[in-house]
Amino acid sequence: MFCVECGSEEKLYGALCRECLLSKDLINAPSHIELEMCHGCGNFYDRGRWQNIDYVEQASRILKEQTKTHKQIEDIHWDIPKFEPVKGEHRVICQAISTIGDQEFELDFEIGVRIRVQMCPSCSRQSSDYYEAILQLRRDGVASKDAEIELAIENQQILNYVDSLAGNEDNAFLTKWGVVPGGMDYYIGSIVLAKNIAARMREGYGATIKESNTMVGMKDGQDLYRWTILVRLPNHGRGDIIAYEKKLYLVDAVSRKVLTLKGVAKGQIYRIQPDDSKIKPVAKYSQLMEAVVVSHEAKTIQVLDPENYKTVTVLRPPYLKQIGETVPVVRYDEQLHAV
Ligand SMILES: [Zn+2]
Ligand SMILES: [Zn+2]
């Protein structure tokens, strides 16, 4: 066999020798490609959807789709170096790696990668006060001026959860949130997200959930609803200290039907009903004081009483394995207790 163009008897790629093959226009790459990025969330528009994706991979795929190759090339892929995803045109040296028979050929091309910037629908709704649901977080006895402190754990949980979904789910944003009498309100872009948060509060904190909605108009021929989701937390939250039959307990877990307690003195686990009338609240998690540790032993800790700075010896709760510079304490029956 010999090359049909020059008659060479070297190794052939199809009908041509390597030299003749490389003299052809093997790869016809576009001068530039375009990516669309949202300047709100940094997501890219890809195959009909705004997504949190690797834009370099996306660029490589688009480049492949827009490259014309000589019929002898069996496969091609583009190697694109990482570049800053900022608005404008980036001149990027891209490497085309093509396969002919059992050989790979590498050729460099300078390609203009243009990043066009706009707002995805989710971000534009967010910037326009859009919301589908109001989630009302409530707990009996929460004073409105302290709601953010008293509900600090639950609030942080909600904010973290929204953050973790932002950009991956449509309208996963908070339009606004803040303290209201009796708790906190969250204006949420997506009803799906709002219901998810409520479900998490039920699982994790034993909250009860009440949903209602009102029709606020029509969109694309469908009724448009706005939801209100009332999430009522049980009176006792994780980390609170309560007294039960004159003994102190740390609330270890809360569910709809069971309050799991840990004895402050002996560390024993105890389960009771959340509405047991013998429960006496002692301190909310947010009200615990921190006492400076002077010294500690296996069964006791010496601390400075945070109110009068006298040194006192208190019992060390068995579950306090590590002792730092301070320990949480409460005053109960006129005595200080490490909890
Ligand atoms: Zn040839
Ligand atoms: Zn966006």
Show the tokens assigned to 184. Answer: 């906190």
- CA of 9, nearest ligand number: 1
Q: How far is the CA of 72 from the centre of ligand 1 (A)?
A: 14
What is the predicted pLDDT for the residue at 299? 93
Output 154-162 pairs: Cβ under 8 A, ≥24 positions apart.
154/201, 154/205, 154/233, 154/237, 155/184, 157/200, 157/201, 157/204, 158/186, 158/197, 158/201, 161/196, 161/197, 161/200, 162/188, 162/193, 162/197
- Centroid of chain to Cα 238: 22
**Per-residue confidence of the chain (339 residues) as pLDDT tens digits?**
889 889 998 888 878 888 888 888 889 999 999 999 998 889 999 988 899 999 999 999 999 999 999 888 889 999 999 998 888 899 999 999 998 888 888 999 999 999 998 888 888 877 778 889 999 999 877 777 778 888 888 899 999 998 888 766 778 888 899 999 889 999 998 899 999 999 999 887 888 899 999 988 887 788 888 999 999 988 888 889 999 999 999 999 888 788 999 999 999 999 998 888 899 989 988 789 999 999 999 999 999 999 999 999 999 999 999 999 999 999 998 899 999
φ and ψ of 147, to 5 deg:
-55, -40
Q: How far is the CA of 200 from the centre of ligand 1 (A)?
A: 69
Kindly report the pTM of this predicted structure.
Answer: 0.56
Q: How far is the CA of 49 from the centre of ligand 1 (A)?
A: 47
- Surrounding ion ligand 1 within 5 Å at CB are 3, 5-6, 8, 17, 20
What is the predicted pLDDT for the residue at 100? 84
- CA of 119, nearest ligand number: 2
Q: How many residues does this entry show for the chain?
A: 339
- CA of 13, nearest ligand number: 1
Show the tokens assigned to 44. Answer: 């890219």
Q: How far is the CA of 13 from the centre of ligand 1 (A)?
A: 10
φ and ψ of 62, to 5 deg:
-60, -40
What are the residues facing 241 on neighbouring strands? Answer: 250, 283
- CA nearest to 274, candidates 309, 237, 241: 237
Q: How far is the CA of 56 from the centre of ligand 2 (A)?
A: 18
Q: How far is the CA of 41 from the centre of ligand 2 (A)?
A: 4
Q: How far is the CA of 259 from the centre of ligand 2 (A)?
A: 42
What is the predicted pLDDT for the residue at 167? 64
- CA of 18, nearest ligand number: 1
Q: Strands 88-100 and 103-118, how do they pair?
A: antiparallel
- CA nearest to 79, candidates 43, 22, 29: 29
Q: Could you tell me if 168 and 101 are in contact, meaning their C-beta atoms sit under 8 angstroms apart?
A: no
Q: How far is the CA of 40 from the centre of ligand 2 (A)?
A: 4
User: Mind giving me the DSSP string for 59-83?
Assistant: HHHHHHHT-EE-TT--EEEEE----
The residue to which tokens 């534009």 are assigned: 124
Q: How far is the CA of 206 from the centre of ligand 2 (A)?
A: 34
User: Mind giving me the DSSP string for 172-205?
Assistant: -SEEEEEEETTEEEEEES-HHHHHHHHHHHHHHH
Q: Could you tell me if 182 and 138 are in contact, meaning their C-beta atoms sit under 8 angstroms apart?
A: yes
- CA of 21, nearest ligand number: 1
Q: How far is the CA of 5 from the centre of ligand 1 (A)?
A: 5
Q: How far is the CA of 36 from the centre of ligand 2 (A)?
A: 11
